[in-house]
Amino acid sequence: MTNNDVLRRLRYTFNFNDQKMVALFQLAGLEVTTQIVISWLKKDEDSDFVECNDNQLAHFLNGLIIDRRGQKGENKHVAEERLNNNMILVKLKIALSLKSNDIVDLMKDTHLSITKAELGAFLRKPDHKNFRRCKDQFLRNFLLGIDKKFNVKRPEKYIVNKEAAQKNSHIYKKSAQKFAKSEGKKKVFVNPNVKPPAKKVSESTLSRKKRS
């Protein structure tokens, strides 16, 4: 998973608009523009896509923690220069006030079971003997579980408009295919004022007419 994947999934789950995304970065002390946030959220194959680095994602996750749990005294969350899946897991656990049992239950909803002991290995420091690296599959399912538990419902207007757009898109596509099919049949224009060419008479027929 990429940092951009994490940003996109969290934005969708909590239905953050561009202004809210910018505000979360600012809460953690990183000034960003709406345009750069939009470029981080674009699909990887888009020409305007920009990669979100570890430090930038760390600021966003720290901002999410502050937004949901408040700033604890004067202790500021330091945005790490390097992030890994374990650190992202820990930050989301803190931001969403999840206990180990909550995560175990949350993972069951994604059909990926995990014990508290296995989860604990992900949450330990790297130098601990029982530390275990969190792989992409677990983080991906964890984000899916978060979406199932915390997903913010879209306004009815948004849902209706989206369905209408999809319906119109289908109608347009069908109409375009029908038009292309009809255009594929070439029509020959026949001028009604042009007389048909005279029938060609063979030489043998002419000679017979002369003899007669």
How do residues 31-74 score in pLDDT, each as one tens digit? 999 999 999 999 999 999 999 999 999 999 999 999 999 987 66
How far apart are alpha carbons 64 and 79 in whole angstroms?
Answer: 12
> Does the structure show a pLDDT above 60 at 86?
yes
In terms of C-beta density within 10 A (0-12 exposed, 13-18 middle, 19 or more buried), how is residue 23 classed? middle
How do residues 155-194 score in pLDDT, each as one tens digit? 664 545 555 555 555 554 555 555 445 545 544 445 555 5
Task: Give, in degrees to the nearest 5, the angle at Cα 8 between 7 and 11.
Answer: 85
What's the count of helices (H) and strands (E) in the chain, helices before strands? 10, 0
Place of tokens 């940003």: 7
Assign 116 to helix, strand or coil.
Answer: helix
pTM summary value:
0.72
Pick from 131, 96, 101: nearest CA to 115: 101
Contact (Cβ atoms closer than 8 angstroms) between residue 105 and residue 145: no
